[in-house]
Structure 1
Amino acid sequence: MKRAYPVVLMAMMLDAAGIGLIMPVLPGLLREVGHIKEIGWIFGTFLAAYAAMQFLVSPLLGALSDRYGRRPVLLISLAGATIDYLFMAFAPTLPLLFAGRMIAGITGASMAVASAYIADITPEDQRARRFGHLSAAFGVGFIAGPALGGLLGEIWLRAPFLAAAALNCLNLTLAFFLLPEPERARGAGETPSLNPLAPLRWALTFPALLPLIGVFVVLGLVGEIGGTIWVLYGQDKFGWSVLTVGVSLTLFGLFHAGAQGFVAGPISERWGEKRALLIGIAADSAAYVSIALATQGWVAFALLPLFCLGGIGAPALQSLLTARVGEDHQGRLQGVLASMSSLASMVGPLVISMTYFHTRSVFPGLVWIAGASLYLLCLPLLAASLPRRTPATAAE
């Protein structure tokens, strides 16, 4: 199983690169295929379609991997993604392009299966470290993908889709020959329901899970703030050029990958996952308040390490959650978490962007302050997740 770990990381890095490859050319492709100039609502709907399918399908794929194994579900997802990128590369109409995007959301739900695989092969006390590595690998792929996609898009608008198909084909080949089925996942679990909401109902039956899932949702929503308004905020408040925006995003991605890959694990192992989570929340809150009050653009760059230290909270929380369910339900759990992330990706940008555009003339930093305030909800949720002490336990 030692060789399986780097193969999973490589698979997720290639998966993220494939997703990022097509991002720079999407607006131009939608204009070309739809024969329109203004794509505002179409572009938003196109992105939301991907998140919506992940919201529905991630729990189902996770449950299927509990029952039938991680390897077959992952291989089918990768094969489907390869075919789908080829389909979108030659889709002649807007409806077919939307259909391809929805299929991409289904096949892209493989992150839940990969997370369950990591949980299967990792001792409980090392899961925060390895979930951090998984997030870092995904981040590195997502940094490299758009850069390569931009270059290929200059050659031909549909070339990034062909490159994404090639990456997924490579991914499929690596997984087929090098990725074994983890012993703890083979044949485990009951026959899953085809109802995509069934795993969500299953999660509601675990009182110990609910507060931590609540914290997970809060972290997901707050995390959407930077992704939604970073470019707008930098240009509106600091007068950033396109080059400055690009440099800031690249540095953010590198810092974030570094923090999750090399800081999250050691802190969790030294002080425990719950303290690591609190450190991440505190760092992110401080960064949000600071950038809201900043008056010079260099401050945003100086805050990048603090922003990225906030990224250690997610792997620590994911590790805490895996300890609350049995080995035969790790896939179902990771599917639920991926579904919650997708829900945050659908709702968050809409609410955040509307709030920003309505308040930027008065105080453009209000959204950042609101994000830091939202973190306060995590404190009672974390308190509720602590084991209850009975009178007998207290007497001991």
Structure 2
Amino acid sequence: MAKEKNYALVFIYITILIDIIGIGIVAPVLPTLILKLSKGDLSATTQYIGWFISIYAFIQFIFAPILGSLSDRYGRRPLLLWSLLGLGIDYIILAMAPNLIWLFVGRIIAGVMGSSITTATAYVADVSTPEKKESEFWNDKCCCGAGLNYWSCNWRCIGTIWGKDSFLCCSRIEYYQFYVWRFCFT
């Protein structure tokens, strides 16, 4: 049982890392994508970027406690699985968005599903022993830091080179994660 908890914790850390890397991928590609979809209007593009960043943060602020309550009621695992599926859908929408409205819908989905980091942190708290809780939370935050710093830098290069196709790569990673979490950790 302890070995299963360790595997589950490793998978939670990987989930947090990949979710944070997703933010690092969206950051360099989104302005170029918005500029292209707004037909080259730089003034409108800067306003849209502000709206897209604000709506993502606002939706996360609203849905983090809601997802936390739902995960208390229905369990952490089902909410994490839905979040992985939702983030995969978001990346597909970002890659295929024909206009700004679809891009806006994708960012709303990302805001809702990106709140899964709070659920993952609650899972870490649930399965950690009191003696190891501090070190497990430290690992959780190290995954956030690694995702924002080292890995995001590498993915930014890929995002800049691949453009919208990097979102499809992210979607595949999210679905692979869903598959492993759903069928290997039952």
TM-score by length of 2: 0.89
Is residue 114 from structure 1 mapped to residue 120 from structure 2 by the alignment? Answer: yes
Structure 1 segments, 4+ long, off by >3 Å, are none
Equivalent in the alignment of 2:156: 149
Cα deviation, residue 146, structure 1: 4.1
Cα deviation, residue 5, structure 1: 1.2
Residues 63-87 of structure 1 show CA distances to partners (whole Å, capped at 9, x for unaligned) of: 1111111111110110111012101
CA distance in 1, matches of 2:184, 2:170: 21
CA distance in 1, matches of 2:122, 2:18: 18
Is residue 104 from structure 1 mapped to residue 110 from structure 2 by the alignment? Answer: yes
Conserved in 2, the CA contact under 8 Å of 1:20 and 1:145? Answer: yes
Conserved in 1, the CA contact under 8 Å of 2:28 and 2:159? Answer: no
Residue type of the alignment partner of 2:135: R
Residue type of the alignment partner of 1:148: W
Residue type of the alignment partner of 2:69: A
Residues 185-237 of structure 1 show CA distances to partners (whole Å, capped at 9, x for unaligned) of: xxxxxxxxxxxxxxxxxxxxxxxxxxxxxxxxxxxxxxxxxxxxxxxxxxxxx
Conserved in 2, the CA contact under 8 Å of 1:61 and 1:113? Answer: yes
Matches within 5 A, 1:53-202: 53-143=59-149, 144-155=151-162, 157-180=163-186
Conserved in 1, the CA contact under 8 Å of 2:67 and 2:116? Answer: yes
Residue type of the alignment partner of 2:116: S
Matches within 5 A, 1:1-396: 1-35=5-39, 36-38=41-43, 39-143=45-149, 144-155=151-162, 157-180=163-186
Conserved in 2, the CA contact under 8 Å of 1:34 and 1:94? Answer: yes
Conserved in 2, the CA contact under 8 Å of 1:88 and 1:97? Answer: yes
Residues 144-175 of structure 1 show CA distances to partners (whole Å, capped at 9, x for unaligned) of: 134223334324x2122112212211221221
CA distance in 1, matches of 2:185, 2:12: 8
Conserved in 1, the CA contact under 8 Å of 2:81 and 2:182? Answer: yes
Equivalent in the alignment of 1:195: none
CA distance in 1, matches of 2:180, 2:24: 20
Residue type of the alignment partner of 2:19: D
Conserved in 1, the CA contact under 8 Å of 2:29 and 2:159? Answer: no
RMSD of the alignment, in Å? 1.5
SS of the residue corresponding to residue 125 of structure 1 reads: coil
**Which stretch shifts more, 43-52 or 118-127?**
118-127
**Structure 1, unaligned runs of 5 or more:** 181-396
**Which stretch shifts more, 101-110 or 7-16?**
7-16
Cα deviation, residue 178, structure 1: 3.7
**Structure 2, unaligned runs of 5 or more:** none
Conserved in 2, the CA contact under 8 Å of 1:65 and 1:73? Answer: yes
SS of the residue corresponding to residue 123 of structure 1 reads: coil
Cα deviation, residue 115, structure 1: 0.7
Query: Relative contact order (C-alpha < 8 Å, sep 6+): which is higher?
Result: 2
Cα deviation, residue 177, structure 1: 2.8
SS of the residue corresponding to residue 42 of structure 2 reads: coil
CA distance in 1, matches of 2:153, 2:92: 18
CA distance in 2, matches of 1:104, 1:131: 24
Task: Report the identity percentage.
Answer: 34
Equivalent in the alignment of 1:349: none
